[in-house]
Amino acid sequence: MAWVSITFELDPGPAEAISETLLEAGAESVSLESTSNDPATLEPGTRMRVVALARTDADPASLLAAAAAAAAIAPPPFSVARVEEEDWVRRSQAQFGPIHVAGRLWIVPSWHLPPDPAAVVVRLDPGLAFGTGSHVSTRLVLQYLERHLRPGAARPRVLDYGCGSGILAIVAGKLGAGEIAATDIDPQALATTIANAAGNGVVVNVAAPDCLPPGTFDLVLANILAGPLIELEPLLAARTRTGGRIVLSGILESQAAEVAAAYARDFDARILSVEEGWALVGGERR
């Protein structure tokens, strides 16, 4: 099967923002790489090269315009090239290696060996749903889970709302959560979460939003975007037990105060952490 690649360059902040909205606009996969001579550092003036993979029947200009509008940036100049399936798989496997999240937690593609026998390993390959652990917004939530969930402690009931690849639900299970539910409006995300959870030996109740199990949760996770998160406040508040916690990501640092204010109606909401222009917002349900 052939694909088309859509390639362009942006500053790091806008590049991170559009990498998420491209997936929501219909891209099958998105990768970012630094244009610096030293990819490990972001020197002043460094740009990011964004490469999005789409089906051959996609309209690259329309897809990019929709993603740019959702990320609140102007559509950048871009180039398009045909990519054969075998070439894309080879390039993807070369790009994605093990990701150290925090402590003993690693995200490891299936074609790599675990970096440490004592590591808490989540097996996850880049796929059709957002969430490989490489995006800052995902890492912020994973780091939170690594700090606050411990095997043998209380086993919270967890909801991953907007689950994508299922990475948040799976990591919660690996770190000792009890009952776990995951939901998304995208059927592909639900199928991917089911497969990824099974591959990691984690039991997750995966369902569309209107088919979720009843009741409230001790911990609600949502890595989406600021606008939808603000609209979802009443729904997510209703799903969080009194004294339970909510953790929200996919939020640019400039949007964090607005999201926190929206959730202050029902939560002790505040900015929990900030990294590379992205923020984590959360708090306890009153």
Taking Cα atoms as reference points, which of 156, 148, 279 lies closest to residue 225? 279
pTM across the whole model:
0.71
The H-assigned helical ranges of the chain are 12-25, 60-70, 85-95, 136-148, 167-174, 187-199, 226-231, 233-238, 256-263
d(CA 115, CA 234): 42
d(CA 278, CA 171): 20
Q: β-strand 217-223 against 205-206: which pairing, if any?
A: unpaired
By the 8 A CB rule, do 120 and 177 touch? no
User: Which one has a higher pLDDT value, 178 or 154?
Assistant: 178
Looking at the chain, the domain(s) classified CATH 3.30.70.120 span 2-94
d(CA 124, CA 164): 12
d(CA 257, CA 98): 33
Quick: pLDDT tens for 220-266: 999 998 999 999 999 999 999 999 999 999 998 999 999 999 999 99
* The listed CATH number (3.30.70.120, 1.10.8.80, 3.40.50.2000, 3.30.70.1060) that belongs to domain 2-94: 3.30.70.120
Residue 44, token pair as written in the block: 């002043």
Q: How confident is the model at residue 24 (pLDDT cuts 50, 70, 90)?
A: confident
Q: How confident is the model at residue 1 (pLDDT cuts 50, 70, 90)?
A: low
- Of the listed ranges 2-16, 20-34, 123-137, 244-258, the least confidently predicted one is 123-137
Q: Tell me the fold of 150-284.
A: Rossmann fold (3.40.50)
